[in-house]
């Protein structure tokens, strides 16, 4: 596994196959460098030492996002490695992963920020 630059401040990581109801299911993460330099990681894949070094070279991991019921599989490892990162997930993920302290719940309506 290694980072593949997609655009400025945007990377893709192809993770290992996982078993999903008896079928091999590919995993991947998206990493975004936010305007302040912090990293937002969507669907963290299996964390290896090599991947950890590559990601840490990009910046500080600030957000770990589990966007659906399957994408929590490596969340514990990432949170153990980056305990200051905020965890985000769906209500179903929060219910399934009561062992993790989530910063917030993802919903269907984005929060309004900024003026107006």
Buried-state track 70-107, b at ≥16 Cβ within 10 A, e below 16: ebbbbbeebbeebeebbbbbbeebbeebeebebeeebe
What residue ranges do the domains of the chain occupy? 3-105
Which pTM value belongs to this model? Answer: 0.85
Q: Which fold has domain 3-105?
A: Metallo-beta-lactamase; Chain A (3.60.15)
Taking only the tens of pLDDT, the chain with its 116 residues reads: 678 999 999 999 988 787 777 888 788 999 999 999 999 999 999 999 999 999 999 999 999 998 876 667 788 899 999 999 999 988 888 888 888 888 988 887 766 665 65
Q: How is residue 73 written in tokens?
A: 């599989």
């Amino acid at each position: 596994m290694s980072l593949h630059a997609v655009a400025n401040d945007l990377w893709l990581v192809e993770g290992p196959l996982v078993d999903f109801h008896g079928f091999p299911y590919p995993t991947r993460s998206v990493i975004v460098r936010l305007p302040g330099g912090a990293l937002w990681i969507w669907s963290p894949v299996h964390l290896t030492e090599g991947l950890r070094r590559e990601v840490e070279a990009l910046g500080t991991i600030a957000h770990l996002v589990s966007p659906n019921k399957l994408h929590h599989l490596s969340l514990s490892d990432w949170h153990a490695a980056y305990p200051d990162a905020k965890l985000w997930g769906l209500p179903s993920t929060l219910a399934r992963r009561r062992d993790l302290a989530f910063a917030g719940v993802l919903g269907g309506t984005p929060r309004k920020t900024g003026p107006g």
